[in-house]
A = this chain, B = another copy of it.
Amino acid sequence: MASKQTAPIMNQGQGETSYAHNSSIQNAEQNKMKSLIEAVVVELCSNTGTLQPGKMVIVDLGCSTGPNALALVSIAVEAIHAHCLQFQQPSPEVSVLLNDLPENDFNTVVKSLVTLRQSNDPVVVTGITPGSFYERLFTSESVHLVCSSNSLHWLSKAPEDLKTNLIPAYDIDEHSRHERLPIVLEAYAKQYRKDFTLFLKLRAKELVSGGRMIISLLGRRSDIIATKFPFLPEIVAQILCVMVSEVHFNTFFSSMHL
């Protein structure tokens, strides 16, 4: 029995099957964050201590590619400029940094990212910070606002307990799947607790005092006991199982939190 782990990367480019053309659900989630981001920006701009010396660093963790990559940071930049115009205070220099795994299609992201840049007042500079958000990405106390939408369900890796014991995330046999569901769910929950704790520790080092973080991710109530495989619709999971078996891998492990 063999298994293989690959990075959870969205389809590149602008084609029919690209993430750029198939991410309207994710965009709808981002739009729900607009008022939250605007409120946080007002707080940050009002706290002159946090903003000294007139700079603000905004990051999106797990930006992916396509139009969604710029959605959250664009809201933040517009909110900063609107606030400063309204209260006639000088705009801070804004540094916009987009993050995703090194395998992401940054060539596409970069071409749209530079449209945010402004050389003259108010200055906006832009950059890419490739890497896992389960590692250090920024220097200490350098980030004012962290945004992340629909990304933190990706774990750093599939749960070790399942891989060691060769327990698949989705067993094609219905009886085995049902019997092992509590073990599978607990393994994913354990990995998530470990990863999310690490994520918070890392960001705590990178955020300035008074910095803010806005995260949106799918979840379910912990008091509702899952009775079936909650990761993907059954039909998709079954298709994945068949595809995996056809390329000589008997098992697949997902690094997506269930």
Chain A positions near chain B (C-beta within 8 angstroms): 53-55, 93, 95, 97, 102-103, 105-107, 110-111, 113-114, 117-120, 123, 125-131, 135-142, 202
With A114-B102, A135-B117 known to touch, is A127 a contact of B95 (CB < 8 Å)? no
**18 additional A-B residue pairs with CB within 8 Å, beyond A106-B128, A107-B107:** A53-B141, A54-B140, A55-B140, A102-B110, A102-B111, A102-B113, A106-B107, A110-B130, A117-B136, A119-B202, A120-B136, A123-B136, A125-B139, A126-B129, A126-B130, A127-B128, A127-B129, A127-B130
A93's partner among B102, B114, B140 (CB-CB below 8 A) is: B140
Query: What is the count of identical protomers in the complex?
Result: 2
A119's partner among B95, B118, B135, B141 (CB-CB below 8 A) is: B135
A97: which B residues are within 8 A, CB to CB?
A: 127
Chain B: CB-nearest residue to A130: B110
A129's partner among B53, B54, B118, B125 (CB-CB below 8 A) is: B125
Interchain CA distance A233-B71 in the complex, whole Å: 48
- Are B117 and A131 in contact, with the CB atoms below 8 A? yes
Most buried by B among A93, A126, A128, A136: A128
A137: which B residues are within 8 A, CB to CB?
A: 125
Provide a sorted-by-A list of 19 A–B residue pairs whose CB atoms are within 8 angstroms: A55-B139, A55-B140, A55-B142, A93-B139, A95-B138, A97-B127, A102-B111, A102-B114, A105-B107, A106-B106, A106-B110, A107-B107, A117-B131, A117-B135, A118-B136, A123-B136, A125-B138, A127-B128, A128-B128
